[in-house]
Amino acid sequence: MMIKLRKFRCLLHHARHLHSKYVPVPLSMQQYLEFGQKKCEKKSFQFLNDEIPIRLAHIMREFEDLPKELLTMKSVKLVRSWYDLSFKEVQSFAEKDPDDTKVLAEFSVAIQNILNRHSYVVETMAQGVIEMEDTYGMDDKISERIQYFLDRFYMNRISIRMLLTQHAALFGNITNHPRRIGHIDPNCDVIECVSNAFKAARQICEHYHMQAPELDVITADGSKLSNFVYVPGHIEHILFEVFKNAMRAVVEYHRDKLELPKLQIIVAKGKQDLTIKLSDQGGGVPYQDQDKLFQYMYSTAPRPQYTGQESPLAGYGYGLPLSRLYARYFQGDLVVSSMEGYGTDVYLYLKVNSSEANECLPIYNTTTSRMYEAEKVVSDWSSSTNWNQSIRTYSTTARKQPIGAENRIQEVQ
């Protein structure tokens, strides 16, 4: 039994290293939309069979460069076992016939299994970092490397879930919004996204604080918000997090007042960017602390009790860092500007042109590996300070071939 287990691990290790030699292929929002409109399950099956193992392999290789103290944590071992199992599960379809409807049905089931298995990756990985910090402590050097890894790890997770949930929405037994192509809305109603996120955040704020500030929404003059292609779920996820922070700040800063100052949203659409600005009067953040807002594990809320199940991310310090990754995933960004003693402005930038909204995918190569060995992690695409992408450690150039077309992907140098 032990011999078989060792053989399996050896084969898995070899397959993982083989797939990590190829560059993951970013898709643009336009390509997602066009493929969803044509809706060919066979081509989706073929593309995912090539692409998912590569994206998994890149981040699985990167795990190997993490501090040994972190890798020995129970929660981190659990996360790695989920990735090993999912890699094996997708690989089992490599030689199967895409013209067989039974194979396609089995593949859809496998995708749903993977999505379910990875539902609590964020919380479990966060718990692993907590376990390490509680056991060994954490100096600045290790903290920087973990920050660097988590940005890349969660961006990789966002990209894989986008592929899998899009396939499930198009070809599974899921009832979609009549206007949407899978999870993509070709005429995304930004104001509706704002409203949905505000209502969800207000419900939580009222539950914990018994009150919540109201909201004014302004559309900039000349901004035509129609024909905007995006994933509404991503916008709502980001805005939900920034609304929660803003509401909590306002309620706590004005706790002795009968009437709370309103939040304000301004939406503007230009030729390149659609920008959503959220302003609050919640007292702001000191300038020297503003960089900390995007650091994992930094939070002013109490740390939540880990149960192994879904729980609010408030207290983990993951809300803003993850929201920024969702914004950057399709070449946007999330920027915070604060005035201590008054309030905070948060700017969400999204690409207007769907052909320019390309996935941003971390890639593992020798440059990436050196980042974990350097005395100080240098600024690149996942830096906490500058969104300055390094061509050596990311991939954003969208493929020109249609999804499902036979081609061999460029090898990593």
List residues with catalytic annotation.
Answer: 237, 241, 244-245
Instruction: Provide the β-strand partners of residue 270.
Output: none
Q: Label residue 282 exposed, middle or buried (CB < 10 Å: 0-12, 13-18, 19+).
A: buried
Residue 185, helix vs strand vs coil: strand
Region of 315 on the Ramachandran plot (φ > 0 left; ψ -120 to 50 alpha; else beta) = left
Q: Which has the closest alpha carbon to 319: 184, 128, 188, 154?
A: 154
Q: How far apart are CA 261 and CA 126, in angstroms?
A: 34
- Distance in angstroms (rounded) separating the CA atoms of residues 392 and 412: 9
Phi then psi dihedrals of residue 363, to 5 deg:
-125, 145
- CA torsion angle 81 85 87 92 (round to 10): 160
For residue 282, CA distances in Å to 174, 212, 314 come to 41, 12, 17
Residues 66 and 371 sit within 8 Å (Cβ to Cβ): no
Which amino acid, one-letter code, is at 294?
Answer: F
The amino acid sitting at 121 is V
Whether 251 and 212 have beta carbons less than 8 Å apart is answered as: yes
Instruction: Name the strand (E) or helix (H) holding 215.
Output: strand 215-219
Helix (H) or strand (E) holding 265: strand 263-269
What dihedral do alpha carbons 218, 317, 156, 413 form, nearest 10°?
110
Read out DSSP for 323-364? HHHHHHHTT-EEEEEEETTTEEEEEEEEES-TTT-B--EE--
CB burial of residue 175 (10 Å; 0-12, 13-18, 19+): exposed
Question: CB 389: neighbour CB atoms within 10 A?
Answer: 18
Return the bridge partners of 358, or none: 28
